[in-house]
Structure 1
Amino acid sequence: HKKQPKHVKHHAAKSIIRFSNKDMTADRISALLNLYGIPMAKTILVRNKKEASLALKNIESPLAMKISSPQILHKTDVGGVILGIKNETEAEKAFEKIIANVKKNRPEASVRGVTAMEMAKEGLELIIGAKRDPIFGPTLIFGFGGIFVELVSDFSVAIGPFSEEKIKEMIKGTRVSKIIEGYRHNNKYNEKNLISILYGLGQLITEHEEIVSVEVNPLVLDHNGDGAIGLDAKIELEQNSR
C-alpha cells in the first residue's frame, strides 16, 4: 500500500462516508479501510449475470460471491455465499443461485446485488474491530476470527489513544497470540504488519466521529508470507451523519 499523506487520506475517507449516505456497500467499505492501511480483498458489486461473468476480468480467480443486503448479516445461513468460482459460466450460475436462495430464505430483504471478491490463501483467521464507546471513546478489539468467533470467544480490547506498544499488549492478551508467535515450532506470522493494520484501524475510528463501529472478520494472515487480507467487513455509521 502506498502511504497517503494524512490530510489526503482524511478527506478521501470523509468523501466516502458522505457519499455513502449510511449505505456502506462492500466496495465502499473496502475503499475506506484500504485508505487506512487495512488491506481488503478486491471486491466488485455485480447486479446481473453479465456483470458477474465480467468480474473475472478484473479479479483473479477463484472468486467468492456473497449476497449484498443491509438486512443480511449472516450470509452463509441464507445460502448467500458461493466459493471457488473459476470461470464465467460458474459466475453466472452462482449469481442466479445466490439471488434465488435469498428470495426463498429472506424474501423481505432488500438486495443491492452480489459482491464478487478475490479469495484469500490459507491462513490464520482473526477478527479486528473498533468502536466508539460512550464512556471510553475509541476502542480496538482483537481476537481469533472466522466462523467460530462466538464459539471460541478469544478477545482483547484496547482503549485509545493508541500506540504500537498498547496494541502489542492487546494482541498478547489473547490465546491466538501464541499461534502468531509460532506455537510449537509452527510458522510465525508477521506481528509487525498486524500491529500496523490495527494502528490504522485505531486512526480511522479516532479521526471520523461519524463511525460508530467497524468489524473485519476474517482478517486472514498468510501462512507462507507477510501478507494479510480482510475478507468481510461491516461499518456502522451514526444515524444523523451526513
Structure 2
Amino acid sequence: MFAVLKTGGKQYRVQAGDTLRVEKLAADAGETVQFNEILMVGATVGAPLVEGAAVQAEVIDQIKADKVITYVKRRRKHSSQRTRGHRQQLTLLRITEVLETGGDKSGVKAAIGARTAGASYVAEAEPAPAKKAAKPAAKKAEAAAEDAPKSAGTRPANLLSEAREGGADDLKQISGVGPKLEGLLHENGVFHFDQIAEWKKAEIEYMDDQLAFHGRIERDDWIKQAKELAKGKKD
C-alpha cells in the first residue's frame, strides 16, 4: 500500500521499504519517527488529511545535499560580485510501515522538522514552579488599572445627554470640526456652541483626551469661535 505524506513543505509518495530524503528532522540515527500529515492512503483521499493514517520510518542518517553554487554580479556597482555555496541539511529515512488507521494511537514519536523542534519542545515542557505562577485574576486587573493612563483634565459640568429643545447647533461651523468630529462631540455630550464657549483650561484638556485630537481645540481657538457663534445665534 502506498501513501502520500507531507513534510518540510513538500509531498512524497511512499510505500514500505522505500528510502527517502526529506528536510532535516529533529531525530537521531536509529530512531523511528511517524509522519501524521497524510494526504492519501491507497484509494482514500484526505480532506485535506486522512484521519488516523500515518507513515512510520527509521532514521538512517543525517546528511547534506550536493553543494549548490550561486554567483551574483551587480552591474554598475563597481563590478561587485559574489560567489556563495550552500548544502541543504537532510534526513535519510527508510519507510517501515504505512498505517491506514490507528496512527493516532501508535505512540511513536512524531516527525518534527529541525527548524520547528524548539517550539515543539517548549510546548511539551513542564509547567513553571508554583513560586513563578501568574498573579490571580483580581491582582492582574488591579495592576492593569494602576498602569492604565489616567484621563487628563476635568470633565466639563455642562455636558448633556441630548440636545436642548430646538435641536443641536451646527458644530461644523467651527473651523476644524468636520462631520466625524461633530459626531464625537455629540457622543461626549456636546451639542451647542455655548457649551464649548464655557470650557476652561482643565476642561479643554479633558475634551482633547476624549476626542483624541490633542491640541486641536486651542490650536483652532474653538472657545473664541464658539463664543462668537453663540452670540450670533442669540442676536
- In the superposition, the TM-score normalised over structure 1's length comes to 0.17
- More helix per residue: 1 or 2? 1
Q: Which structure's CA Rg is the greater one?
A: 2
- In the superposition, the TM-score normalised over structure 2's length comes to 0.17
Query: Which of structures 1 and 2 has the larger relative contact order (alpha carbons within 8 angstroms, sep 6+)?
Result: 1
